[in-house]
């Protein structure tokens, strides 16, 4: 039996957290879509994931730089705050990375249970003349 949640029961912080995770989920969904090989193309899944990861890192760096730039009046003011801004962003990234890394270690079998199927499907057409490679 599910319980209906009254909107008045949700705090502003909870609502902001929900929006935060919805946005994050949309970015992850987009990245997952980019990780699907184009139809008819044989692509190494690990290589494709690495390319998507690098693009996301670049996009995140570019976007965070733009967000920071919008808080300054001049380029000089921005230059002077570089260490403070980059330290903050790197600290936030490190905390998020460590939290997610720890979670994946705890849930490794759960989160990667489909990996064997992916490897099988990625390499099932590699056989020629009945020999395994």
Structural domain spans, the chain: 9-123
The class (CATH top level) of 9-123 is mainly alpha
| 31 within 8 A of 56, measured Cβ to Cβ | yes
- The span from the CA of 35 to the CA of 29, in Å, is 10
Q: Are 37 and 43 in contact (CB under 8 A)?
A: yes
Q: What percent of the chain has pLDDT over 90?
A: 64
pTM of the model: 0.73
Poorest-pLDDT segment among 6-15, 28-37, 71-80, 120-129: 120-129
With a cut of 50, say whether residue 125 has pLDDT above it.
Answer: no
- Average pLDDT value for residue range 34-59: 93
């Amino acid at each position: 039996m599910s319980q209906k949640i009254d909107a008045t029961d949700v705090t502003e912080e909870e609502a902001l957290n929900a929006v935060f995770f919805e946005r994050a989920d949309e970015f992850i969904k987009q990245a997952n879509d980019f990780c699907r090989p184009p139809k008819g193309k044989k692509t190494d899944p690990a290589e494709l994931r690495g390319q998507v990861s690098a693009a996301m890192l670049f996009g995140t760096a570019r976007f965070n730089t733009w967000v920071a730039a919008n808080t300054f009046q001049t380029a000089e003011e921005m230059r002077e705050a570089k260490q403070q801004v980059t330290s903050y962003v790197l600290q936030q990234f490190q905390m998020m990375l460590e939290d997610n890394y720890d979670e994946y270690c705890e849930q490794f079998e759960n989160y990667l249970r489909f990996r064997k199927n992916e490897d099988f499907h990625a390499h099932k057409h590699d056989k020629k003349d009945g020999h395994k490679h």
